[in-house]
Amino acid sequence: MNRVCHLALALALLASATRGLAAQTAAEPENWRVSFTPYVWMSGLKGTIGVGSSITEVDVAFTDGAEDFDFGFAGLLEGRRYPWVLRTDFYYVALSDEAAVSGGSTLTVGQNELMLHPEVGYTLLARSWGGVDGLIGARYRNIGVDLSVSPQEVSADRNWVDGTVGANVRYQAGAKWRLVAKADIGTGGSKLSWQLYGGAGYDVGRCCALVGAWRYLDVDYDKDNIIYDVRLSGPTLGVTLRF
């Protein structure tokens, strides 16, 4: 009788251990999911740009961007492994604009801008409809400004880093449709920088999705003899490639 009891106890312990092992196996973290989204940002530019005592107002609508656009590229690299998120957003753009000034002269404003924004995130809320990620990061920006009224020309180049905090909201609107909204705010090298982003994506297959959004970015920098207090806004179009 004792042997039967001992055998039953051993079987119970074995079953419990097996269930525990199965639970651990099920709880093993998923593999990293990586995606890259090259995109075009058809941005307008409005605000104040200045070098020393030479200060000018700039107002270029995104519909006029093709005329004033010289060169640019942009992309978003993202890796996910629940609950962690790694993101790096970047863009480079070169713009130029002309405006008439007193005396019949023409003021030419040239701008080159590089932005690199790595972030680390943690999923704060995960649901069947999507989730919410908290994000912290550092936004590096390099600005080159040229102001010229013949025969004079002034130029300056500055770079700085802002620490940022933000949130990213993901919503699965359907089998193929998804919505996303992102906001962040930062300071450090600049007085203040913040952005809002909202858009949608459509899955064309397991490999990729078509994405479109509207992006608004506000930067207020006034240091070292340069003023860059501008708002950039306009639509983005891109393709998300999954690996």
Smallest CA-to-CA distance from 190 within 155, 224, 160 is with 160
35: Cα separation from own chain's centroid: 13
d(CA 240, CA 179): 14
Identify the residue whose tokens are 């940002």.
Answer: 41
User: Which residues make Cβ contacts (< 8 Å) with residue 172, sequence separation at least 6?
Assistant: 128, 129, 130, 178
What's the pTM value of the predicted model, to 2 decimals? 0.80
User: For the segment 124-177, what is each residue's pLDDT rounded down to a tens digit?
Assistant: 999 999 999 999 999 999 998 887 766 677 788 899 999 999 999 999 999 999
For residue 92 the two structure tokens come to 């480079």
Q: What is the pLDDT of residue 163?
A: 98
Smallest CA-to-CA distance from 213 within 98, 30, 42, 99 is with 42
Q: Where are the domains of the chain?
A: 1-29, 31-242
Query: What SS3 class is residue 205?
Result: coil
Radius of gyration for the alpha carbons in the chain, expressed in angstroms and rounded: 26
- Residues, the chain: 243
Which CATH class, in words, describes the domain spanning 31-242?
A: mainly beta
Q: Which has the minimum average pLDDT: 19-33, 112-126, 138-152? A: 19-33
d(CA 225, CA 158): 10
Q: What is the pLDDT of residue 57?
A: 83
Choice between 105 and 96, residue whose per-residue pLDDT is larger:
96
Say yes or no to pLDDT of 24 above 50.
no
d(CA 161, CA 159): 7
Q: What is the pLDDT of residue 237?
A: 95
d(CA 12, CA 15): 5
Smallest CA-to-CA distance from 166 within 192, 135, 196, 193 is with 135
